[in-house]
Amino acid sequence: MLSKTGVPTPEQLKAVKPSKERLDQGPVVIVECFQEIPCDPCYTVCKKGGFLPFEDINDLPRMDFDKCNGCGICIGACPGLAVFVVDESYSEQEALVMIPWEFLPVPEEGSTVKGLNREGHAVAPVTVKKVRYAGENNNTHILTLVAAKEFAHDIRSIGVKE
Amino acid sequence: MVNKIEILVIGSGPAGLKASLGAAAQGAKVTLVERDPFLGGQLVKQTHMFFGSKEQYASERGFKIAEKLSREVEDHPKIRVLCNTAVLGCYENGVIALETKEKVVAIQPQAIILATGAQENTLMFPNCDLPGIYGAGAVQTLMNVYGVVPGCRVAMVGAGNIGVIVSYQLLQAGVGVPAIIEALPHIGAYHVHASKVRRMGVPIYTSHTVLAAHGDECLEGITFAEIDKDRQPVAGSEKELKVDVLCIAVGLTPLIEILFQAGCKMAFIPELGGHVPLRSDTLETSVSNIFVAGDASGIEEASAAMVEGSIAGLTAALNLGYGKESYQENLAAARRELAGLRSGPAGEKIRSGLARLARSEEVTY
């Protein structure tokens, strides 16, 4: 249970997952935010209308997945590092997973690293396709990982050390 | 010789910085005193992004907020900043003694805003005084202010926001965190913080406590165990960990000694972290023109501390005759922000603490 272990339940994850049709179409955001806390930058940073307006600052994010183009600006804006983008249209066998990264070393583009699940276990190797820096003010890196499709909804971090 | 000044703000964390800016923006002259050599209080150690909304600098990192607000304060013509300055006490007629530049100076402010923050709680267990056992604030100071790693393997006690955030910062510094140990049956931190450390492989042991620390000259390991609902160790659940640092993050207590000295009416409110002053809804204590803001008024997030600072600053300035025209509008905006921050499930504890405080009578000794 999330409140005991820090790992969201399968039911919680299912509730925030876009439909298969939407996932097939291309990159889309997945917001793993399950607790009402006073926080709204995901909504204020999105220029596409992907996040429905907050009525109260404590609201959970509610999505309009059809307006989201998977740009990932919200990944670097989320103070909880709870926002990811998945692109299942990348290839037949592989998907792209975009994650926030606040550790050193920052992996090099083209390198292969361990893909970690929500418990920190290595589940499959991933290739770092792109490294984006969210800027001096934010200091977060946004990594685009290539992962086998069946792990696109499990891999949420990477292990860069042996 | 007593220097007469308008508003004295004690402490330059998020509440004190915002109180100074709030009062100065209304036209009052502010003297801001800070014990440390630099402004910012705990903000300077906060490398994570803040929650809240853009009014409280959401998505920005605490130390960046400290830089921004410190610059505003230092550049403000109405604010005089005294770092390396400690308040020694509050005496008759509201005279405050300061130690600054190795001299003791007496000043008499027309209004005081106390924004002294909080001190860490500690935990008792066998060998809890071994070198290597730190409060989370000390670990953060070593790492994030002075760039010194506290050790190689750190066990964290406390899964509130501070324990979980400091664990994450330790990981960022390349330090191993083999366990976060929490006595409550649930994680107190925002769950997103907990998920961040979990996916880096750190286990969180809820309903567990430290039984003992081990080591001759310094910490070499700990024994921890599961506890039942009466907080008694469950036989056979003991686990050993080899660690060279144990970090204690088991809550904070408001720092309010100066308010006791000043004769403010106080009440003991567990939800707010301990003794806190009775106060009006604009944070004026029972002694007129003495205000409180931030963790000193009750333990809460830095975002709320900033808004409380603004409210206290605006109102202290008003009491001195400044900013009558814009007061109501500015106050209403700040109140809306504060109500929003406290309105959700995460604000339940602070709401019940404030409700209890409103019903409280002064505690006497």
CATH number belonging to the domain at B122-248, selected among 3.50.50.60, 3.30.450.20, 3.40.50.920, 3.40.50.2300 = 3.50.50.60
Q: B196–A80: do the CB atoms touch at under 8 Å?
A: yes
Collapse the DSSP code of A19 into the 3-class scheme (helix H, G, I; strand E, B; otherwise coil) and give the result: coil
Domain with CATH 3.50.50.60 in chain B: 2-119+252-359, 122-248
Residue A49: CB atoms within 10 A of its CB come to 12
- Which whole number is the average pLDDT over B286-305? 97
Domain contains A86: yes
Question: For residue B235, what are the CA distances in angstroms to B123, B127, B225?
Answer: 21, 21, 8
DSSP labels, A113-130: EEEE-TTS-EEEEEEEEE
Domain contains A41: no
Domain contains A65: no
Separation between Cα atoms, residue B146 and residue B256, nearest integer Å = 28
pLDDT over threshold 60, residue B75: yes
Residue B143: CB atoms within 10 A of its CB come to 20
Q: A56–B344: do the CB atoms touch at under 8 Å?
A: yes
User: For residue A137, what are the domain limits?
Assistant: 2-33+72-159
Domain contains A27: yes
Q: A118–B195: do the CB atoms touch at under 8 Å?
A: yes
Q: B51–A120: do the CB atoms touch at under 8 Å?
A: no
DSSP labels, B45-75: G--SBP-B-GGGTTTSBHHHHHHHHHHHHHH
Phi then psi for B25, rounded to 5 degrees? Answer: -65, -25
* Sequence-ordered alpha helix ranges (H) in B108-180: 136-140, 161-172
Strand partners, B247: B134, B156
Separation between Cα atoms, residue B284 and residue A51, nearest integer Å = 40
Domain contains A46: no
Q: A32–B199: do the CB atoms touch at under 8 Å?
A: no
Whether the CB-CB separation of B323 and B14 falls below 8 Å is answered with no
- Which whole number is the average pLDDT over B121-146? 97
Nearest to B54 among A44, A102, A117 (CB): A44
Percent of chain B with pLDDT over 70: 99
Nearest to B340 among A34, A57, A78 (CB): A57
pLDDT over threshold 70, residue B364: no
What residue in B sits closest to A100 (Cα-Cα)? Answer: B196
Residues of B in contact with A44 (CB under 8 A): 53-54, 58
What residue in B sits closest to A123 (Cα-Cα)? Answer: B199
Phi then psi for B106, rounded to 5 degrees? Answer: -105, 135
Q: How far is A7 from chain B (nearest CA, A)?
A: 6
CATH 3.50.50.60, domain B2-119+252-359, yes or no = yes
Nearest to A79 among B50, B195, B198 (CB): B50
Separation between Cα atoms, residue B170 and residue B47, nearest integer Å = 11
* Sequence-ordered alpha helix ranges (H) in A9-100: 10-15, 20-25, 41-45, 73-77
- Domain count along chain A: 1
| Most B CBs within 10 Å, among A2, A36, A39, to test the B interface | A39
The residue to which tokens 């405080």 are assigned: B357
Domain contains A131: yes
Question: What is the per-residue pLDDT across B9-48, written as a single tens digit (0 to 9) for each?
Answer: 999 999 999 999 999 999 999 999 999 999 999 999 999 9
Structure tokens at A70: 């998977």
Domain contains A123: yes
Instruction: Record the pTM.
Output: 0.95
Confidence of residue B143 (pLDDT cuts 50, 70, 90): very high
* Sequence-ordered alpha helix ranges (H) in chain B: 14-25, 62-75, 136-140, 161-172, 191-198, 257-261, 302-319, 324-343, 348-359
Length in residues, chain A: 162
- pLDDT in single tens digits along all 162 residues of chain A: 899 999 999 999 999 999 999 999 999 999 999 999 999 999 999 999 999 999 999 999 999 999 999 999 999 999 999 999 999 999 999 999 999 999 999 999 999 999 999 999 999 999 999 999 988 778 899 999 999 999 999 999 999 875
| Nearest Cα to Cα of residue B37 among B101, B99, B84, B86 | B84
